[in-house]
Amino acid sequence: MTELFIDRIDSAVGTLLLVSDGESLCALDYTGCEQRMLAPLRRRYGELRLRDAVDPQGFSSRIRAYFAGDLGCLNGIPVNPGGTTFQQQAWSALRTIPPGVVLSYGGMAARLGRPAAYRAVGMANALNPIAIVIPCHRLVGASGALTGYAGGLDRKRWLLRHEGVDLMSLAGAGAAAKDRGASPLRRAGS
């Protein structure tokens, strides 16, 4: 039986469930989504035991620091999300999008060298087991519209605003970029 460590973190977007393997972050999800979080962990590890832990590897402190405004503090958290080779590539690429920047699914597919794979990027995004740290909330539709987020669009909106994204101009910027044949990539304030 594999033993993993779980902590619960109160945040502005609800209580978060953080799971560590003792070295890396394996899952970060929202209370109420435990089954969605546990299913891939069980597929990866088989029978497992979640042991309560306070701030495993200091990860919970870093999550709290992010919510307190230290937007870069998540970059150094080692992650172990599992997944297919493509999912791992997509999730790794998500970590290169800085806070305050959004990218379209098509733009991410192009970054991965597979410009026609925007649907596969969307599927990988939907299956991301480590919310916020692997920032799937930073991907938007080609028009700049906020599209699905497993944690709910209200949380996605909050996270993007917290990171300084101007949501009011995002859809207009996306449409303008699409007219130019580009993928919307906007830094907050630009």
Q: Which active-site residues does the annotation give?
A: 136
Give the DSSP letter of residue 144.
S
Output the six-digit token pair for 174.
Answer: 């996306």
- In angstroms, rounded to a whole number, what is the distance separating the alpha carbons of residues 98 and 160? 11
| Cα end-to-end span (Å), the chain | 50
The Cα–Cα gap between 66 and 62 comes to: 6
| Structure tokens given for 187 | 């830094």
Task: Name the region of 145 (left: φ>0; alpha: ψ -120 to 50; beta: rest).
Answer: beta
Tokens of 105: 């699914």
Nearest-angstrom CA–CA distance, 189 and 166: 7
Q: What is the Cα–Cα distance from 133 to 34, expressed in whole angstroms?
A: 18
Rounded CA gap, 165 and 28, in Å?
22
